[in-house]
Chain A
Amino acid sequence: MAKSASVPLAAGSAPGHSKSPVVAKTVVLEDPPAVLVNPPLVLNNRSLGWITDTIAGICEKPMPAWWLPTFVASAGLMGMMYALIAYLIATGVGVWGLNNPVCWAWDITNFVFWIGIGHAGTLISAVLFLLRQKWRTSINRAAEAMTLFAVACAGIFPVIHVGRIWYAPIFLAPIPNSNMIWPQFRSPLLWDVFAVSTYGTVSLLFWYVGLIPDLATLRDRAKTRIRAIAYGIFALGWRGSNRHWSNYEKAYLILAGISTPLVLSVHSIVSFDFAVSVVPGWHTTIFPPYFVAGAIFSGFGMVLTLMIPMRTLFKLEDVITERHVGLMCKVILATGSMVGYAYGMEFFIAWYGGSPYELYAFKNRAFGPYWWAYWSMITCNVISPHLFWFKWCRKTMWFVWLVSIVVNIGMWFERFVIIVTSLHRDYLPASWGYFTPTWVDVFTFVGSFGQFMTLFLLFIRFLPAIAISEVKGVTPQADPHHPLGGAKEAHH
């Protein structure tokens, strides 16, 4: 049907106009000034078919030459981690550098680090969905996958740090122990079990529900019977029916609605692991919002670390545009500022609260034996995000990538600083100590990156790394009322 720049004003569509004696027959739509127009979410006016071919093509064609060596290296690191875990279980937690005041160190640091990274995926998929931030569609699939893989890495550490790991099912499940005593629900550590396992489960469901239409696309495009059956089983018979879309969209909206308080609650509860204790340096009410902001900060850092190489290596610049990267940089800037504020406020309250132990813990953090960790954290987390005030910094991909790595390093140090510096000097100088990691500590953590990358590489090998149906839905061609609703003018 013909489209023109003028559309008839439907009666009653604009309240107030109907009372007016003079009603214009037509309203002329003028183009808004260029400065107000955002760049499109899919560049070069790509057609719907191009979107399918490009994104589904990644997991249909053979992987590029770099994929296999990277995969083998990552899988090797993952194997090393599991070998070290076997060594740990066979020998005992003494293979780590833990000592008496510092009885949580790299294990819980790594746990909080990974679970924090996982927060960006749900934030992008749920919070940005509720806020109608359409740019999320290009990045939500990979960010949600990253969430799942980060949670899979996070889950390892609390399980293996318990020492006698064969009792872990009793610690985790709500079943009575050998003395018939039930788990203690006043403990934030048990809340954490429920929070993290709910988070992992709901993230998996959310990710899978989002994948179903795209799995149907892969099933319909399959060239071999094995692919058709494999993708067909997981597509669950999806056929794009609008009667289904209607329920699907409602379910997706509700999932976004209930995942939003979930994502905020998970890192709040992780912070309760510390804040509910009475250890100076941990016992602060600022922890829940500060941990959530830090989690989003580190999560977006990791999203950028993964997305920038991905968009270049798979030539996805038209789908993950400079605008997408720039917006993620702004999220990093905002959450990084919140984290910086929290660091300052912690110091202020340590002084203003008047507790000498609290003040000592913070002075010791900045100027004690772990000063190097504290100032690494400040440099990475407080200074580096402010580079993103400058447009050049947000537009230059290699630079954004470097800053994203710095953010990840800084957020690991944040957790290390919170955990180890608060523990290493107890109330009595007789129980002061210093934590040094052993080679087992270091390589177990390095190996967790291997697991993360292995899972992510498998994901881009077998599943569409960008939400095909959602990206189509934000193109002008998808809007039946847009002049381009025709899609014919689009390039293929």
Chain B
Amino acid sequence: MSSTPKPYGLLAEFETAADIFEAAIRVRDAGYRKWDVFTPFPIHGMDAAMGLKNSPVGWFTFIGGFTGFFSGMTMIWYMNGFEYPLVVGGKPLFTPLFAFPVSYELTILLGAFGTIFGMFALNQLPRLHHPLFNSERFRRASDDRFFLCIEARDPKFSEARAVLESAGAKAIELVED
């Protein structure tokens, strides 16, 4: 605990969803900026309790889906209507109608890629290590415990311990970087 002088943050453990919910409201109202809540499942209403804005993932979906649809249409026009035009069954060389099913599937495919890779980019994942994994206690964040961490880079970090204690933390531990 004393080998490295640089702390990452103060990690507080809570036992119930209600406790962490109340604690998040307190920490938000105390004006903290660099902090986070760690829970084994998403808690309904926690985004509001933390004061988070709506996630921008949808924009990545839109960009992916848009790209998919227009690349599908362009590909089919290029292949069947332009590069090697071939009349089949007396049908037009290109119309968006017969190009629609494939473009539709590509909209969904690239929209899904956009959603997932956008989500990972926003979350800055994957990453192989994180300072919180230094905490043995933190292993239960994926089981049945709820954690709140105020990072050391927050300007109000000096008062963090008092806030977490008053929020009813069951245990508080300093996590090192």
Contacts and interface: CB of A to CB of B under 8 A. Distances in A.
Interface of A: 1, 47-49, 52, 174, 176, 180-186, 188, 190-191, 194-195, 198, 201-202, 205-206, 209, 213, 216-217, 219-221, 232, 236-251, 254-255, 258-259, 261-262, 265, 269, 272, 468-470, 472-473, 477-481, 485-488
Contacts of A202: 108-109, 112
A185 B99 contact: yes
B133 interface: yes
A186 B88 contact: yes
Contact of A182 (B80, B99, B138): B80
B78 to A, nearest CB: 8
Contacts of B139: 220-221
Interface centre among B16, B36, B111 (most CB of A within 10 A): B16
B152 interface: no
A242 B149 CA distance: 11
A181 B84 contact: yes
B43 interface: yes
10 closest A-B pairs by beta carbon, nearest first, are: A236-B126, A480-B21, A182-B79, A48-B144, A251-B119, A250-B55, A485-B18, A473-B41, A245-B42, A242-B37
Contacts of B79: 174, 176, 182-183, 185
B9 interface: no
B58 A250 contact: yes
B30 interface: no
Interface string B146-161: 0000000000000000
Interface residues of B, number: 73
22 contacts: A1-B22, A52-B40, A52-B142, A184-B80, A188-B101, A194-B106, A209-B119, A213-B40, A217-B143, A239-B141, A241-B123, A250-B58, A251-B118, A258-B108, A259-B108, A262-B108, A265-B101, A272-B101, A472-B41, A479-B44, A480-B21, A480-B45
A237 B133 CA distance: 9
Contacts, number: 224
Nearest to B109: A198
Contacts of B83: 182
Contacts of A470: 41
A236 B125 contact: yes
A485 B16 CA distance: 6
B61 A254 contact: yes
Contacts of B50: 242-243
Nearest to B110: A198
A239 B128 CA distance: 11
Interface centre among B16, B17, B19 (most CB of A within 10 A): B17
Contacts of B142: 52, 213, 216-217, 219-221, 238-240, 469
Interface of B: 15-22, 24, 36-47, 50, 52, 54-55, 57-58, 61, 65, 75-76, 79-80, 83-84, 86, 88-89, 91, 98-99, 101-102, 104-106, 108-109, 111-113, 115-116, 118-120, 122-123, 125-130, 132-133, 138-144
A488 B18 CA distance: 11
Contact of B98 (A185, A250, A469, A480): A185
B38 A247 contact: no
A485 B19 CA distance: 9
Contact of A198 (B16, B36, B105, B123): B105
Contact of A194 (B22, B42, B102, B130): B102
A355 B86 CA distance: 32
A232 B125 CA distance: 12
B40 A217 contact: yes
Nearest to B21: A480
A265 B104 contact: yes
Chain A contact residues, majority secondary structure: helix
A269 B100 CA distance: 12
A202 to B, nearest CB: 5
Interface centre among A194, A261, A265 (most CB of B within 10 A): A194
A229 to B, nearest CB: 10
Contacts of B140: 220
Nearest to B148: A242
A226 to B, nearest CB: 16
Contacts of B19: 1
Contacts of B101: 188, 191, 194-195, 265, 269, 272
Given A191-B102, A194-B102, A49 B115 contact: no
Contacts of B99: 185
A393 to B, nearest CB: 34
Contacts of A265: 101, 104-105, 108
B41 A242 contact: no
Contacts of A255: 112, 115-116
Contacts of A479: 17, 44
Contacts of B109: 198, 201-202
A254 B86 CA distance: 39
Contact of A242 (B52, B84, B118, B128): B52
